[in-house]
């Protein structure tokens, strides 16, 4: 539970009334990009009866983001539909989203649904309506993810299985034979929405009813794995997760962090990635399982390095360090 915030329970009644959707966005040093996408997000709704309000948290950016966003909101006449919140510190992604959720709950907007959206993403037309329609058909007892697209509108993978010892070994040693021995789940969305383990934290949607069951995101994660953790908690209380192909989002991945998935091009992975890995596996599994899973990744990476001596093309340049993974990911050293 987020300290200092209290969740007020209420019964949700949707009918002919306006449907209120609170978009929660956490910005860090991407103010210009967020401001450029204001009109795209607010013009994405194609049907009457929807009321969007953006709760935008600036996570103590080190650039001029707060000033840029303040000016853009005024110049674009968005004062009535954007609430800009200045965080007291950069507490991370979950911390920032919790601030936005708390602000949405504390005012007069009275949200029926929440949509957590990355600052480097914007909604495609009809994205919100598709999610609301599916959620209402599921009695609002679900978490939903949109399909991510690149800037050329090519769909990208945005639905996943929970990470395991096997997936971590395979990630450490990306070898075709391992893909055949341990095949990845085939998330074929051509036939419609699909039940999955978790969807990308770049954009996920849930009703107030679901939030009242799950509560706040775990702020002990600074960045990465917090959405996986949240959806694992959802599974434990019987709330399913679906990927909805009729809801689309354009995502410029890594605009703030330069990290895409579990890789970073042109630099070292930040310490918080390893710290989040450690927390996720130790929180959701036994300490022994977490340790063996970390060793599986290290073993895979070591074998891959040996193969790279023979075949240099196998060399992996994803920013990971085996020494830091052992120290921070497996041992959990924080300094």
What's the pLDDT tens digit per position in 69-93? 999 999 999 999 999 999 999 999 9
Q: In whole angstroms, what is the distance from residue 169 CA to residue 165 CA?
A: 6
Which residues does 195 contact at the CB level (< 8 Å), separation at least 6? 240, 241, 242
The answer to whether residue 3 scores a pLDDT higher than 50 is: no
Neighbouring CB atoms inside 10 A of 208's CB total 22
Confidence of residue 314 (pLDDT cuts 50, 70, 90): confident
Q: Hey, how many other C-beta atoms are within 10 angstroms of the C-beta on 329?
A: 27
The number of CA neighbours under 13 Å toward the Cβ of 330 is 20
- What is the C-alpha to C-alpha distance for residues 288 and 271, in angstroms, rounded to an integer? 22
67 to 33, 63, 74, 111, 182: CA distances (angstroms): 13, 9, 11, 27, 50
Domain boundaries, the chain: 19-162+197-253, 265-330
Q: Is the dihedral of CA 222, 265, 36, 41 positive or negative?
A: negative
Q: Express each pLDDT in 170-194 by its tens digit.
A: 888 876 666 666 666 666 666 679 9
Model confidence at 9: pLDDT above 70: no
**CB 266 within 8 Å of CB 217:** no
pLDDT at 182: 62
Size of the chain in residues: 335
Q: What share of the chain is helix, strand, coil (3-state, %, to 5)?
A: 40, 20, 40
Q: Give the span between the Cα atoms of 16 and 194, in whole angstroms.
A: 29
pLDDT in tens, 267-286: 789 999 999 999 999 999 99
26 has a pLDDT exceeding 80: yes
Mean predicted confidence (pLDDT) in 45-68: 95
Those residues with Cβ within 8 angstroms of residue 139's Cβ, 6 or more apart along the chain or in another chain: none
Proportion of the chain above pLDDT 70, given as a percent: 86
Which pTM was predicted?
A: 0.89
CATH of domain 19-162+197-253: 3.90.550.10
Q: Is 43 exposed, middle or buried (0-12, 13-18, 19+ CB in 10 A)?
A: exposed
């Amino acid at each position: 539970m987020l300290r200092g915030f209290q969740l007020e329970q209420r019964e949700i009644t949707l009918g002919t009334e306006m449907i209120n959707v609170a978009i929660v966005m956490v910005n860090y040093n991407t103010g210009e990009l967020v401001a450029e996408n204001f009109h795209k997000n607010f013009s994405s709704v194609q049907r009457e009866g929807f009321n969007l309000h953006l709760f935008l948290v600036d996570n103590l950016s080190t650039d001029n983001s707060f000033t840029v966003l303040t000016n853009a909101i005024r110049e674009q006449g968005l004062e009535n539909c954007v609430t800009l919140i200045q965080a007291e510190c950069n507490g991370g992604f979950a911390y920032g989203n919790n601030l936005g959720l708390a602000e949405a709950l504390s005012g007069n907007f009275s949200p029926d649904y929440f949509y957590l959206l990355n600052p480097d993403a914007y909604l495609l037309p009809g994205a919100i309506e598709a999610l609301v329609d599916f959620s209402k058909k599921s009695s609002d007892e679900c978490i939903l993810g949109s399909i991510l697209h690149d800037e050329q509108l090519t769909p990208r993978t945005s639905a996943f299985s929970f990470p395991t010892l096997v997936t971590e070994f395979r990630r450490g040693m990306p070898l075709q034979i391992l893909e055949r021995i341990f095949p990845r789940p085939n998330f074929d969305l051509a036939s419609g929405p699909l039940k999955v383990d978790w969807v990308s934290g770049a954009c996920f949607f849930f009703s107030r009813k679901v939030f009242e069951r799950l509560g706040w995101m775990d702020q002990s994660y600074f960045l990465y794995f917090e959405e996986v953790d949240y959806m694992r908690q959802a599974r434990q209380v019987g709330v399913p997760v679906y990927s909805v192909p009729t809801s689309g989002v354009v995502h410029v991945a890594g605009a703030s962090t330069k990290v895409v998935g579990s890789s970073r091009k042109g630099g070292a992975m930040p310490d918080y990635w390893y710290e989040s890995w450690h927390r996720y596996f130790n929180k959701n599994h036994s300490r022994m399982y977490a340790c063996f899973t970390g060793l599986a990744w290290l073993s895979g990476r070591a074998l891959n390095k040996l193969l790279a001596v023979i075949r240099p093309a196998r060399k992996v340049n994803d920013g990971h360090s085996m020494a830091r993974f052992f120290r921070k990911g497996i041992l959990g050293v924080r300094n």
